[in-house]
């Protein structure tokens, strides 16, 4: 997917759009190309405009990758090394830029569209594009091999719990337990690695919530598509290039308490917002939920403890609040095991000293005793 159009010319057009403060739409690009190449024929202009538009609008050379089914991630290690994840592990593509400079220019342009600086003084950027894709970039020399980019592609396809059951992502006993968790307004954590299907399951579960309940969703990027009549979404915001305008997840958790939620949902907990979330769930709001990155259900209490300690909470207070905040952990296994799905459901329990641990209630039949032992915690056991 390399272009014969000189990258310098494409960059001229891109720079001109930025200088004029206009979006790279066809009409604007056509006018700029005509100004830069006044002697070109109509046929030459049309060909040039097609190439330039593909380079500077949308995702340029990556645009066609968005058509891949079940796409979750596009990863750029350097200008000529692009990988994708379609739910079955990473696969390398033939997509590339013409040079490292072209890839760098592309990354800087994307950052600029979101009013973020990406240059030698600010060598990394993180933002959400207009199409909902989460974009992150790191420039050399921090990225040793060349400009590194990652694109987290949100799924626009919604699944019901029944569809996930039919697809084999849920066993029948696990499906029944999940329905019970929802109907009995139990609070839960969905745990798993990147791309394991946490968001897909969370959206499917929330779609089963009583339609009279008001769900307030807090996210750092728009990912959750919930089929429910009463959903309010709020989204955090990082500071602009001048360092102003930041709204953190912690800020939003606090604001949510004034929004009369029946259920509070944090798309993913990964920082100090855990402190306010634990407090909120200890004062009501049954049936709330969040997701967290953890390899197995036994790691979830430890992970929550670590986040709480970073937020300045005493260990004893973290465990006391955790036990009353959450009822269940729903653990995901990832595509490396053949397909995404729920591997186990565990309940929060506590020792006599007040520390919290998890006990497995249901285990996917794909797991055997060796799998259970490999989870590495003698406290975790099948009890039903």
99 and 223 fall within a common domain: no
Is residue 320, in this structure, part of any structural domain at all?
yes
Last residue of a domain, one of 153, 179, 208: 153
230 and 109 fall within a common domain: no
243, pLDDT greater than 90: no
Query: Do the strands 341-350 and 356-363 form a parallel or antiparallel pair, or are they unpaired?
Result: antiparallel
267 and 282 fall within a common domain: yes
Q: Which residue has the higher pLDDT, 236 or 47?
A: 236
263 and 247 fall within a common domain: yes
Is residue 209, in this structure, part of any structural domain at all?
yes
374, pLDDT greater than 60: no
The residues pairing with 265 across neighbouring beta strands, listed in sequence order, are: 217, 289
Last residue of a domain, one of 118, 153, 188: 153
C-beta separation of 74 from 83 below 8 A: yes
Q: Where are the alpha helices (H) located in 283-365, listed in sequence order?
A: 299-310, 315-325
Supply the mean pLDDT for the chain.
86
Per the confidence metrics, is the pTM higher than 0.85? no
Is residue 21, in this structure, part of any structural domain at all?
yes
The pLDDT of residue 132 is 83
Is residue 382, in this structure, part of any structural domain at all?
no
Q: Which of 2-6, 60-64, 136-140 has the lowest mean pLDDT?
A: 2-6
40, pLDDT greater than 90: no
Q: Which residue has the higher pLDDT, 7 or 348?
A: 348
Is residue 13, in this structure, part of any structural domain at all?
yes
Please tell me what DSSP assigns to residue 214: P
Q: Which residue has the higher pLDDT, 86 or 44?
A: 86
Domain CATH number, residue 298:
3.40.50.300
130 and 179 fall within a common domain: no
Q: Confidence class of residue 47 from pLDDT cuts 50, 70 and 90?
A: confident
Contacts of 363 (CB under 8 A, 6+ apart): 343, 344, 372, 382
C-beta separation of 5 from 29 below 8 A: no
Last residue of a domain, one of 126, 153, 180: 153
145, pLDDT greater than 80: yes
The pLDDT of residue 157 is 75
C-beta separation of 219 from 321 below 8 A: no
Domain CATH number, residue 115:
3.30.450.370
Q: Which residue has the higher pLDDT, 374 or 209?
A: 209
Contacts of 15 (CB under 8 A, 6+ apart): none
The pLDDT of residue 148 is 98
45 and 131 fall within a common domain: no
Q: Which residue has the higher pLDDT, 379 or 123?
A: 123
103 and 251 fall within a common domain: no
* Number of domains the chain contains: 3
The pLDDT of residue 370 is 38
186 and 296 fall within a common domain: yes
The pLDDT of residue 53 is 72
Is there a cis peptide before residue 22, judged by omega within 30 degrees of 0?
A: no
d(CA 221, CA 129): 10
Q: Could you list the residue range(s) of the whole structural domain that residue 212 is in?
A: 161-374
Q: Which of 43-52, 67-76, 172-181 has the lowest mean pLDDT?
A: 43-52
177 and 269 fall within a common domain: yes
339 and 355 fall within a common domain: yes
Is residue 381, in this structure, part of any structural domain at all?
no
356 and 344 fall within a common domain: yes
150, pLDDT greater than 90: yes
Closest residue by Cα to residue 18 from 56, 71, 47:
56
The pLDDT of residue 98 is 86
Please tell me what DSSP assigns to residue 42: H
15 and 103 fall within a common domain: no
307, pLDDT greater than 70: yes
The pLDDT of residue 378 is 39
pLDDT more than 90, % of the chain = 54
Q: Confidence class of residue 337 from pLDDT cuts 50, 70 and 90?
A: low
384, pLDDT greater than 70: no
Is residue 260, in this structure, part of any structural domain at all?
yes
Q: Which residue has the higher pLDDT, 370 or 93?
A: 93
Please state the rounded mean pLDDT for residues 251-272.
93
377, pLDDT greater than 50: no
1, pLDDT greater than 60: no
Please state the rounded mean pLDDT for residues 148-163.
89
Is residue 384, in this structure, part of any structural domain at all?
no
């Amino acid at each position: 997917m390399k272009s014969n159009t000189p990258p310098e010319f494409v960059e001229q057009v891109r720079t001109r759009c930025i200088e004029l403060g206009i979006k790279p739409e066809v009409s604007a690009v056509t006018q700029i190309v005509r100004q830069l190449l006044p002697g070109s024929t109509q046929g030459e202009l049309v060909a040039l405009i097609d190439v330039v538009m593909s380079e500077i609008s949308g995702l340029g050379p990556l645009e066609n990758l968005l058509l891949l089914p079940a796409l979750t991630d596009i990863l750029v290690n350097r200008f000529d090394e692009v990988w994708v994840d379609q739910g079955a592990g990473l696969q390398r593509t033939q997509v590339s830029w013409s040079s490292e400079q072209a890839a760098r220019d592309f990354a800087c342009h994307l950052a600029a569209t979101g009013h973020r600086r990406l240059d030698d003084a600010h060598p990394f950027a993180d933002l959400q594009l207009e199409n909902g894709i989460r974009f992150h970039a790191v420039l050399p020399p921090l990225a040793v091999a060349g400009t590194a980019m990652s694109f987290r592609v949100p799924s626009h396809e919604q699944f019901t719990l029944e569809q996930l059951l039919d697809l084999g992502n849920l066993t029948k006993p696990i499906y029944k337990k999940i329905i019970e968790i929802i109907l009995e307004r139990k609070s839960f954590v969905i745990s798993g690695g990147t791309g394991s299907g946490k968001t897909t399951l969370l959206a499917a579960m929330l779609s089963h919530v009583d339609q009279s309940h008001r769900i307030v969703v807090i996210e750092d990027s728009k990912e959750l598509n919930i089929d429910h009549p009463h959903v309010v979404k709020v989204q955090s915001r990082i500071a602009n290039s001048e360092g102003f305008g930041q709204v953190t997840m912690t800020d939003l958790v606090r604001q949510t308490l004034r929004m009369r939620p029946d259920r509070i949902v944090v798309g993913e907990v990964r920082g100090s917002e855990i402190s306010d979330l634990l407090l909120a769930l200890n004062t009501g709001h049954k049936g709330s939920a969040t997701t967290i990155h953890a390899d197995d259900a036994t790691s979830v209490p430890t992970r929550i403890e670590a986040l709480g300690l970073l937020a300045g909470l005493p260990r004893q207070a973290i465990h006391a609040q955790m036990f009353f905040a959450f009822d269940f952990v729903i653990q995901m296994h990832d595509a490396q095991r053949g397909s995404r799905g729920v591997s186990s459901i565990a309940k929060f329990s506590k020792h006599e000293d007040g520390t919290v641990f998890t006990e497995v209630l249901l285990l996917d039949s794909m797991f055997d005793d060796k799998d259970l032992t490999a989870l590495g915690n003698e406290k975790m056991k099948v009890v039903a």
